[in-house]
Structure 1
Amino acid sequence: MIPPKPPARPDRVSLWRYAKLFRADILSAQPARLYRAWMAEFRTPFFRSYLINQPDLVKTVLKDRPGDFPKSDRVGEGLRPVLGNSVFLTNGATWERQRRIIDPAFEGGRLRDTFPAMQAAARACAARLTARAGQAVEIEEEASHAAADVIFRTLFSIPIDHEVAARVFHRFRDYQRAQPILNLAAFVPLPRWMPRFLPRQARRAGAEIRALIRGLCEARMAEIAAGTAPDDLATKIMTTRDPETGQTFTTEEMVDQVAIFFLAGHETSASALGWTLYLLALFPDWQDRVAVEVGQVGDLDFADVARLRVTRDVFREALRLYPPVPMMVREAACPEHFRDRDVPKGSQIVISPWHLHRQERLWEAPDDFDPARWQTENGKTCLREAFIPFSAGARVCTGAGFAMLEGPLLLAEILRQLRVAPVTGKLPEPVAHLTVRSRTGIWLQLERREGGAAPSGA
């Protein structure tokens, strides 16, 4: 059984047809040949972009020479109303300063500190879903709720049912529906003087999200000054000084960073959890293997998550098939020559985890769901060279370790209690919005797992 993927378009279409397909869904706008191509050029009278799908070229751009391929400003076309000048969008000295302040909060020792809050969110999710056993549930909604709960508990020590947290969560969902993370402006170099007509709903939601986050940050600043702030991620980041300048983030800078933490840590985790549960519903033998492993490990603490090897490989395989962020856009800062093509300065360089993770020349049975592949020689090679769900190199996602702890933990707590199965007639169709989601949601039938123990707390 092959898990669902978007239909590919014909190799040759008009620019108008491509733009129309792109607006509907980034993934199905791409031709099937990209699953075999090492590189592809998209040329119009106005611009050029190049998709690179060869590991050594990806390594050049992301790892060897990241300074020559800064993040394209066009990626921020639809996101600045929420993200402002966050680390996700900046380049150069500004980005380096931001990472010097942010990175210490996500180092290994801090992950251990965040584990109790993360586990509380996972158990709360398992309890909510167990209460709906016997029902068909749209699991993307539940995954979004759970991922948002993790972010608010670990960042601000408040659960998702806190009034402000709930409002931020719901307004982010409004923003997601109104504005994709990659729109055509990310690939088409519109003149800077041309106005960007963002949907009114997106502008309104963005303004409200930032106002709510600003309130949380100002309150935390006051708690830090009073010496009453909890020891969570927000406090750690807001009190970390840049080792080169001695400065901390201002409140407005912190609003920018919290916005991207929520986007990256909530949207991407929700996408990954939803697709992982769907894949386990399609492949009940792997679902049972995860449940058995979780049962053998027992009540989890931080060190125990490392023992969930099957669960980790299942989650990793879901990230391969459904990478939450399907495409990344860089810009050539100088003329380049890739393979047999000249790449002019200013060209858009598109790196597609979606296509690289399914590259037919690299992976064995690339469209199959096979968590066992990670223990094979081919799987180990591809893990090093062709697996980038969190990007790679200097700009690798700061929260990659956080996500690889959170995903298996959520799966463990859910599958300890429940069995999931597909719902007849509800086949999900992957599309790219803020992240890779299903056009009509992911529907699963929930049933209590025989012998499942009640969560020990929420």
Structure 2
Amino acid sequence: MTPPKPASRPDKVSLLRYLRLFRADILSAQPARLYRAWMAEFRTPFFRSYLCNDPALVDLVLKARPADFPKSTRINEGLRPLLGNSVFVTNGAVWQRQRRIIDPAFEGGRLRDTFPAMLAAGRAAVARLAPGVTEIEGHTSHAAADVIFRTLFSIPIEHAVARAVFDQFRDYQRTQPILNLAAFVPLPRWMPRFHRRRTLRTARAIRALIEQLTATRMAEIAAGTAPDDLATKIMTTADPVTGDRFDTAEMVDQVAIFFLAGHETSASALAWALYLLATHPQAQERVAAEAAAFAADPSFGALSKLRFTRDVFREALRLYPPVPMMVRETTEPERFRDRDVAPGAQVVLSPWHLHRHERIWDTPDAFDPDRWSREETRACAREAYMPFSAGPRVCTGAGFAMVEGPLLLAQIVAAFRLQAEGPPPVPVAHLTVRARDGIRLRLTPRPPG
């Protein structure tokens, strides 16, 4: 079967109608022509935006001249109560300093160190699952949060503070924080952003809990008793340029985005990967065979045995990129495809449309993990695949996610046979691409051995 895809809006709608559609779901608020267009211009009374699917333009913005196209503040306005001044929202020298401190924690050698914690989180996730019909997105959120807390602070999700952060974050998501007035209307700095009270309350609660974890870790580092995990690595790394380290307040900002990006995006991708396998039994059995071989030797080196499983996860990221759109801003006059673009314009790069572009991909809407082993896909992967962004601002946790995702996927499929239940889930996008009414799967235990 063809994986579900949201319906597109009519090509022309009023601004009010568009805002209402956007508020309901970012993806279905877009016209179908974007799956074929190289570029599209959208005009509002407040700003102009240009959605760019042309690989040359994407390369220009993300790789060739990234400093000339900083992150737009519009989309980030709604997230600031939680993320503060984290690496996700900053630009320029501040962002560069933050990356110099954060990146060493996610280098290749550190992935081997975090593997045991990921493996333990996967086993705990399997233990929480039960035979029968279940809504799987809740379980993948739980599992991804467990991975974050085990690798970052060496505590499981069952830890009281970790559990409280997880529960508050679920409440925070329901407030739809990204749909802030400032995302649509340019507001002066002094003007209030009119965040929902619930958004502000849950953001404060999450940050207070993270501050508690961070302050405790600071004390453990000072006493020489801190575990050698990601939090310790980041908090003890000095900026090679200035010699500065993150203080507690800065670390709270960074932990907030690690949790948001590392937990929410992984949970989304894992849930869709499980659904795709549930609707494609042959692919599921191939993953189960690899998972059985891995289970006989569950080591970091044995991850190479999960080759097809990794391609399944890559294909899930192609069809359902957790972050469907990213927005940059022009700082000087530009010329895009023979069209003049003024400073201050919004440049929208859409992994959702780029990954399904009809002029780039063969059978773009089909689930085909084997495409990743074919020669013709290599050009597509270079030019039109960016689930973790690209260039200098590529997600620092991309390598982490590509270990975590296939590992958890293999562990779940090794334990259960999956079958889809009910109507196909409808993808919607707010913070990440999720299913409007959840993803229901029937789980049947696999015989041991």
Question: Same fold by TM-score, threshold 0.5 exceeded?
Answer: yes
| Range with greater deviation from structure 2 (271-280 or 181-190) | 181-190
Aligned residue pairs, count:
448
List runs of 5+ in structure 1 lacking aligned partners.
Answer: 453-458
Deviations 1:114-143 (A, max 9, x none): 1101110011111111xx11x110000000
Residue 77 of structure 2 aligns with which residue?
77
Residue 205 of structure 2 aligns with which residue?
208
Q: Distance in 2 between matches of 1:168 and 1:349?
A: 33
Give the aligned residue type for 1:255.
Answer: V
Residue 394 of structure 2 aligns with which residue?
396
Residue 90 of structure 2 aligns with which residue?
90
Residue 425 of structure 2 aligns with which residue?
428
Deviations 1:31-50 (A, max 9, x none): 00000000000012321000
- Does the 8 Å CA contact 1:426/1:442 hold for their aligned counterparts? no
Give the aligned residue type for 1:141.
Answer: G
- Does the 8 Å CA contact 1:187/1:348 hold for their aligned counterparts? no
1:194 CA displacement: 3.6
Q: Distance in 1 between matches of 2:235 and 2:423?
A: 45
- Does the 8 Å CA contact 1:364/1:378 hold for their aligned counterparts? no
1:183 CA displacement: 5.1
Q: Distance in 2 between matches of 1:28 and 1:190?
A: 26
1:193 CA displacement: 4.1
- Does the 8 Å CA contact 1:23/1:184 hold for their aligned counterparts? no
1:192 CA displacement: 3.6
Q: 1:140 aligns with which of 114, 132, 137?
A: 137
Q: Distance in 2 between matches of 1:92 and 1:205?
A: 29
Residue 17 of structure 1 aligns with which residue?
17
Give the aligned residue type for 1:217.
Answer: T
Which residues in structure 2 correspond to 1:28-427 (within 5 Å)? 28-129=28-129, 132-133=130-131, 135-181=132-178, 185-297=182-294, 298-423=296-421, 425-427=422-424
Q: Distance in 2 between matches of 1:260 and 1:331?
A: 21
- Does the 8 Å CA contact 2:10/2:31 hold for their aligned counterparts? yes
- Does the 8 Å CA contact 1:363/1:378 hold for their aligned counterparts? no
Give the aligned residue type for 1:284.
Answer: P
Task: Could you list the structure 1 runs, at least 4 aligned residues long, displaced by more than 2 angstroms after superposition.
Answer: 179-195, 296-299
Q: Distance in 1 between matches of 2:179 and 2:66?
A: 21
Kindly tell me: are residues 271 and 398 of structure 1, through their superposed partners in 2, closer, same or farther at Cα, counting changes over 3 Å?
A: same
- Does the 8 Å CA contact 2:177/2:199 hold for their aligned counterparts? no
TM-score, scaled to structure 1: 0.96
SS state of the match for residue 79, structure 1? Answer: helix
- Does the 8 Å CA contact 1:177/1:433 hold for their aligned counterparts? no
Q: Distance in 2 between matches of 1:127 and 1:449?
A: 14
Q: Distance in 1 between matches of 2:97 and 2:75?
A: 20
TM-score, scaled to structure 2: 0.98
Matched, 1:8 2:5: no
Q: Distance in 2 between matches of 1:340 and 1:28?
A: 28
- Does the 8 Å CA contact 2:70/2:328 hold for their aligned counterparts? yes
Deviations 1:383-405 (A, max 9, x none): 11110000000000000000000
- Does the 8 Å CA contact 2:180/2:193 hold for their aligned counterparts? no
The Cα RMSD (Å) is: 1.1
- Does the 8 Å CA contact 2:157/2:163 hold for their aligned counterparts? yes
- Does the 8 Å CA contact 1:182/1:434 hold for their aligned counterparts? no
Q: Distance in 2 between matches of 1:200 and 1:264?
A: 23
| Range with greater deviation from structure 2 (273-282 or 377-386) | 377-386
Deviations 1:55-77 (A, max 9, x none): 11101000110000000111221
1:198 CA displacement: 1.1
1:376 CA displacement: 1.5
Q: Distance in 2 between matches of 1:212 and 1:74?
A: 27
List runs of 5+ in structure 2 lacking aligned partners.
Answer: none
Q: Distance in 2 between matches of 1:184 and 1:402?
A: 34
